[in-house]
Amino acid sequence: MATEIEQKLNDELKDAMRSGDEVRRDAVRMLVSALKYEAIELRRPLADEDVEQVVLRIAKRHRDSIAEFKKGNRPDLVAHEEAQLKVVEQFASQQMMSREEIEVAVRETIDELGVSGPRAMGPLMTTLSARLRDKADMRLVNEVVRSILAASGTGSS
């Protein structure tokens, strides 16, 4: 393990084990494990970009799990996933965009493409996906696009 993030993970794991923080320990172990599997899969040591992609992928899994557990009315599991997500996000060098930042990006892209109404959803999401894929939760981007298009369109979604 050579990268800065990997060294930070090892230090964090030791601290979590000493302090008895099980949530932090488990989240860090999951990241370390995912990084080892990624290195095996790529058959080479991980570069910083590779590590960042793994961290973002794990964070996305936690967000997806949170959404599913909310649908299933499981607040205990939602709280557990949110706690782990908070730990995982500490290791992402590029933070995810907030809803407000996504709204600005969506409005700028709508103006740039000159589109409106529900039919603009496809081209708009294609463009935004290319621009925001690793910077924003695409589920949230989709939600923002729908709400903005519904508000600016004919009123139907």
State pLDDT tens for residues 72-131: 999 999 999 999 988 888 887 666 777 888 889 999 998 998 888 878 888 889 999 888
What's the longest Cα–Cα distance across the chain?
59
Contacts 24+ apart (CB under 8 A), 145-148: 145/106, 145/121, 146/121, 148/103, 148/106, 148/107, 148/110
Residue 77 near residue 119 (C-beta atoms within 8 A): no
List % helix, strand, coil for the chain (3-state, nearest 5).
75, 0, 25
Residues 94, 112: Cα–Cα separation, whole Å:
25
**Token digits for 75?**
């607040």
pTM value is 0.63
User: Can you give the pLDDT at residue 156?
Assistant: 43
**Token digits for 104?**
């600005």
User: Can you give the pLDDT at residue 153?
Assistant: 62
What residue has token string 């860090």? 28
User: Can you give the pLDDT at residue 80?
Assistant: 94
User: Can you give the pLDDT at residue 154?
Assistant: 46
Residues 23, 3: Cα–Cα separation, whole Å:
23
Q: Quote the mean pLDDT of the chain.
A: 85
What H or E segment, with its residue span, contains residue 107? helix 99-113
Walk me through the domains of the chain, giving residue ranges and CATH numbers: 4-89 (1.10.1510.10), 99-152 (1.10.10.410)
Residues 141, 146: Cα–Cα separation, whole Å:
9
Report the amino acid identity of residue 117. G
State pLDDT tens for residues 29-78: 999 999 999 999 999 988 877 888 888 889 889 988 998 999 999 999 99
